[in-house]
Amino acid sequence: MKTTYREAVRKALHEALTRDGRAFLMGEDVGRYGGTYACSKGLLAEFGPDRVRDTPLAEGGFVGAGIGAALGGMRPIVEIMTVNFSLLALDQIVNNAATIRHMSGGQFSVPLVIRMATGAGRQLAAQHSHSLECWYAHIPGIRVVAPATIEDARGMLWTALQDPDPVIIFEHATLYNLEGDLADDAGAVAIDRAAVRRPGRDVTLIAYSANVHKAMEAAEALEADGISAEVIDLRSLRPLDDETILNSIRRTHRAVVVDEAWRTGSLAAEVSARIMDGAFYELDAPVARVCSAEVPIPYPRHLEEAATPQPGTIAAAAKILVTGHG
């Protein structure tokens, strides 16, 4: 069946609301507006305003309320419109969602799912283009996933909803229009493992979310240059699937980590450090990182493109690793 990433998200939400009476969706404009990215269009009509709940502009408040509702036996799916606004809810996520289980000595779990759009690429400038997945991946007590494909957009939510602890789902805003096939019986998928999206021999390109597609493009370009690139889609950002990453490095001996976050303190740094930890003696060259430039994302397209990872820059970094020159 031909479909889109957006439609896959919508189907996943529909399934959640249908199968679990405790599940409800809440966030800014998820109801009447149909979701900023139209992911919840039609759900209000079907499930009513209690279960498809429009919230006021109060990110800290309604995320905290989601945590409380989870403590109270519900299975809230809280949509934060974008990662940019999630900063207003970060205290609730760090200090309540992620810690209540521990602080209570294991008495309470917080079965909460938070979804948010992330990333640059739509010329939305400095306040609306953040990629802060790395911050969330830093927090013990939560799980962080990033569906890059239509299957994962369709399948990760249900699995996340079964988790007794908080799960954060990052949807890159440029992916919603992604088109592709989805099996009619597509459903829940495992969320703890990375996936090899393309096998290769000479270098491993490690990415997540929208950048998986850029890495795939880069791999194709490299192929034309006679370089065989493996592409890993991290899928789970916390915990990271070291095994899949290290297995690949043991075969290719070289890695490029792609991350739309600013380079310093990116998740790419963590992946690089883990490869150092786990496969140092396997490496034929230092791990390369292709990240965003250290600048608030500028509005004009040519500058935004220059600031963020692109297939060309990924391929160039890989080529240098493999051939020693660009």
Partner 1 sequence: MTPGGAKPRLDRPHALDLLRQMLRIRRFEEKCAELYGAGKIRGFLHLYIGEEANAVGVIRALAADDAIVATYREHGHALARGIGMRPIMAEMYGKAAGCSRGRGGSMHIFDAATRFYGGNAIVAGGLPLAVGLALADKMQNRARVTACFFGEGAAAEGAFHESLNLAALWKLPVLFVCENNFYAMGTALERSESQTDIRRHAESYNVNGAVVDGMDVVAVEVAATRAVASIRESGTPYFLENRTYRFRAHSMFDPELYRDKAEVDHAKERDPIHLFQDWGLTAGLLHDADVKTIERDAAAEIEDSIAFAEAAPWEPVEDLLRDVHTPLTAQAAE
Ligand X SMILES: Cc1ncc(C[n+]2csc(CCOP(=O)(O)OP(=O)(O)O)c2C)c(N)n1
Whole-angstrom distance, CA of residue 41 vs CA of residue 52? 10
Q: Which of residues 1-60 bind ligand X (CB under 6 A)?
A: 28, 57, 59
- The footprint of its own copies (CB under 8 A) covers 60, 84-85, 87-88, 90-91, 94-95, 98-99, 102-103, 125-127, 130, 134-135, 137-141, 238, 240, 261-262, 264-270, 272-273, 276-277, 280-281, 283, 285-289, 294-296, 298
Whole-angstrom distance, CA of residue 114 vs CA of residue 146? 12
Q: Which residue has the tokens 């230092």?
A: 286
Applying CB under 8 A, among 92, 174, 209, 244 the residue interacting with partner 1 is: 92
The least distance separating ligand X from the CB of residue 148, rounded to whole angstroms, comes to: 24
Determine if 83 is a binding residue for ligand X (CB under 6 A).
no
Integer angstrom CA distances of residue 131 from 46, 297, 319? 33, 10, 26
Determine if 103 is a binding residue for ligand X (CB under 6 A).
no
The least distance separating ligand X from the CB of residue 133, rounded to whole angstroms, comes to: 19
**Residue 180: which of partner 1, ligand X, its own copies, none does it interact with, CB under 5 to 8 A by kind?**
none
User: What residues pair up with 117 in beta bridges, in sequence order?
Assistant: 82, 171
Instruction: Count residues near ligand X (CB under 6 A).
Output: 6
What backbone phi and psi angles, to 5 degrees, belong to 49? -70, -15
Applying CB under 6 A, among 81, 297, 316, 321 the residue interacting with ligand X is: 81
Q: Which of residues 282-311 bind partner 1 (CB under 8 A)?
A: 293-296, 298-303, 306-307
Looking at beta carbons only, is 79 or 259 nearer to ligand X?
79
What backbone phi and psi angles, to 5 degrees, belong to 29? 65, 25
Q: Which of residues 39-58 bind partner 1 (CB under 8 A)?
A: 41, 50-51, 54-58
Stretch that binds ligand X, among 19-27, 80-88, 220-228, 317-325 (CB under 6 A): 80-88
The least distance separating ligand X from the CB of residue 57, rounded to whole angstroms, comes to: 5
Alpha helix segments (H runs only) across the chain: 5-19, 43-51, 59-71, 83-86, 90-91, 100-103, 133-136, 150-162, 210-224, 242-252, 267-279, 301-307, 311-323
Looking at beta carbons only, is 22 or 250 nearer to its own copies?
250
Looking at beta carbons only, is 55 or 252 nearer to ligand X?
55
Whole-angstrom distance, CA of residue 201 vs CA of residue 227? 8
The least distance separating partner 1 from the CB of residue 282, rounded to whole angstroms, comes to: 28
Residues 47-54: contacts with CB under 8 Å, at least 24 apart: 47/17, 50/24, 51/17, 51/23, 51/24, 51/25, 52/17, 52/24, 52/25, 53/24, 53/25, 53/26, 53/27, 54/26, 54/27, 54/28, 54/29, 54/30
What are the residues binding ligand X (CB under 6 A)? Answer: 28, 57, 59, 81, 85, 88
Active-site residues, by number, are 59, 128
